[in-house]
Structure 1
Amino acid sequence: MALITISGFPSCGKSKRAEQIKSHLEARLNDASYTGPSLKVSILSDDILNIDRNAYNDSRSEKPARGALFTAMQRQMGQDTILIVDSLNYIKGFRYQMYCAAREQRLRVCTVFVVATPDLCKEWNSSRNDGRTYASETLDNLLMRYEEPSSMVRWDSPLFTITWADDDVPAEGIWQAVTAGNIKPPNVGTQAVPKAPTDTLRTLEHTTTSMVSAIMNEQAASQGLGGPITLTISAIKPRITLPPRNITLSELQRFKRQFVTVHKKAITLGTTEKGAVDWSEESIAGKFVTYLEENLRYS
């Protein structure tokens, strides 16, 4: 249904805001006036995943921590869930990765930027007594490397900014974003590319070769009069309209080589065509007929 990304300095109050957002959303979902689909609101955080604050001490331990968060996020995203990801999310590239994953699931998205001054974050971090403090050096490093969200980029938009002085979150705006906001289609660059069956290259070569032979036989029988003819190739009978002239074997073989070369790339690398891609003998024959008719017309 939706992904809410929480971002902010370490120890700036992100978890408090995540709980406020969850409370507001659940209240709206349980209200008698709500008539939408049945939804649940979940929070995913470093604490829930038992990711220690020491994981952010160096890049070698931070990378698998982010990986664990991302994997858990992918598992919990769904059409029946509003998922709030309560973590630092301080790297814009990671927020973009989360955004793309949400688009793959066709979820609505929004970002909540929790703001507090560095001095306040250091004060709140040092005053914690729950064992979840950042080391002083780690905190300074994270503050320095923080990449602030921007409403000007699509993966941070819509963006809601909450300062340390705000008593509550902009509940109405967040509600509208996660229930009525735009659902963007999956990014083409992130979609899995459908691959052709393993015998498609053989089918492509066999079908086009058989069609060239059949065209030459039919042309010899009709003495080059042209017009629509039906070819018999194993179990299929494609129809092709030939021009009223004698077509040479070398001409057909040249068009066949061009056609095969173009389609080999799509077969070996995959195709970005929308919907199911048909590489059956009948489909290949139909494409080759269209290719020949267009090229023979102007040759």
Structure 2
Amino acid sequence: MAFVTISGYPSSGKTRRAEQLKQHFERRLQDPSYDGPPLKVMIVSDDSLNLPRSVYDDGRAEKPARGALFTAVQRQMAQDTILIVDSLNYIKGFRYQMYCAAREHKLRVCTVFVVAMHEQCREWNASREDGRAYAPETLENLLMRYEEPSSMVRWDSPLFTVPWTDADVPADDIWKAITEGIVKPPNAGTQAVPKAPTDALRTLENTTTTMVAAIMAEQAASGGLGGPVTLSLSSTLKPKVDLPSRNVTLSELQRLKRQFVTVHKKAITLGTTEKGAVDWSEESIADKFAVYIEGNLKP
């Protein structure tokens, strides 16, 4: 249903804002005036995945941890869920990756930027007694590397900035964004490419070869009169093709067959970007080849 990305400096109060959002959402969902679909509110965070702050000490450890977070986020994305991801999310490329996943699931999205001054983050981090503090050098490194969200880019929009001076989050505006915002279609580049069946190449070659032989046989039987011809390829496969009123040579048909097979072989081996399922059955190939012959044979 919706996907909310929490982003901010380390030890800036992101978890508190995520909990505030969760409480607001649950209160609205339980309100008698709410008439929308039944929804649940979930938070996925480093803490919920038992990822220690030490994973940010080393890039080699951070990468698999970020992968675990992304996997957990994808697993929880659903039409009946408002999902809040509470983590640093300091890399814009990672925010874009999650944004694309949300679009794949047809979810509304928004980003909440939790703002605090560097000195405050250092102070709050040093005062933590829950075992979740960052090492001082790691904190400084993350502060320098942080890539701020921007309302000018689509994966961070709509963007809600929550400064440290605010007692609460702008719940009304965020609720409107996740319940009334535009559901963006999936990126074409991220959509799965439909694959042809394993026997598609053999079916393509056999069907077109059989059609060429059938056309030559029908032409010999009719004396080259042309016009609409029904080809009996099998008891159930009888495509129709409109031939010109002249003798079509075998070399012409073989040339058209090679061109047709070459074009469609590329679609089979590389996949196709056509929307919906692609039909590689004998009937579909025969009909397509008949149309190709009619459009490319000279009168």
Whole-angstrom CA distance in 1 between matches of 2:96 and 2:292: 41
Partner of 1:291: 292
- 1:226 counterpart letter in structure 2: G
Whole-angstrom CA distance in 2 between matches of 1:85 and 1:107: 14
Alpha-carbon shift at residue 77 of structure 1 (Å)? 1.1
Q: Normalization by structure 2: what TM-score?
A: 0.97
Whole-angstrom CA distance in 1 between matches of 2:148 and 2:205: 55
Alpha-carbon shift at residue 280 of structure 1 (Å)? 0.5
Partner of 1:242: 243
Where in structure 2 are the equivalents of 1:1-299 lying within 5 Å?
Answer: 1-234=1-234, 235-297=236-298
Partner SS, residue 282 of structure 1: helix
Q: Which shows bigger deviation, 214-223 or 33-42? A: 214-223
Alpha-carbon shift at residue 23 of structure 1 (Å)? 1.0
Gaps in structure 1 of 5+ consecutive residues: none
Structure 1 stretches of 4+ with a deviation exceeding 3 A read none
Whole-angstrom CA distance in 1 between matches of 2:82 and 2:100: 16
- 1:211 counterpart letter in structure 2: M
Whole-angstrom CA distance in 2 between matches of 1:35 and 1:273: 38
Partner SS, residue 85 of structure 1: strand
Partner SS, residue 271 of structure 1: coil
Whole-angstrom CA distance in 2 between matches of 1:173 and 1:253: 65
- 1:37 counterpart letter in structure 2: P
Partner SS, residue 62 of structure 1: helix
- 2:175 counterpart letter in structure 1: W
Alpha-carbon shift at residue 291 of structure 1 (Å)? 1.0
Q: Deviations over 1:7-42 (max 9, x none)?
A: 000001101110111111111111111000000111
Alpha-carbon shift at residue 131 of structure 1 (Å)? 0.8
Gaps in structure 2 of 5+ consecutive residues: none
Alpha-carbon shift at residue 293 of structure 1 (Å)? 1.1
Alpha-carbon shift at residue 139 of structure 1 (Å)? 0.5
- 1:203 counterpart letter in structure 2: T
- 2:47 counterpart letter in structure 1: D
Q: Deviations over 1:154-206 (max 9, x none)?
A: 11111111111111111111111111111111112112212111111111000
Percent of residue pairs identical = 75
Q: Normalization by structure 1: what TM-score?
A: 0.97
Partner SS, residue 160 of structure 1: strand
Q: Deviations over 1:73-93 (max 9, x none)?
A: 111111111000000000011
Partner SS, residue 67 of structure 2: helix
Whole-angstrom CA distance in 2 between matches of 1:17 and 1:163: 11
- 1:275 counterpart letter in structure 2: G
- RMSD over aligned Cα, in angstroms? 1.0
- 2:240 counterpart letter in structure 1: R
- 2:284 counterpart letter in structure 1: S
Partner SS, residue 240 of structure 1: strand
Whole-angstrom CA distance in 1 between matches of 2:248 and 2:118: 79
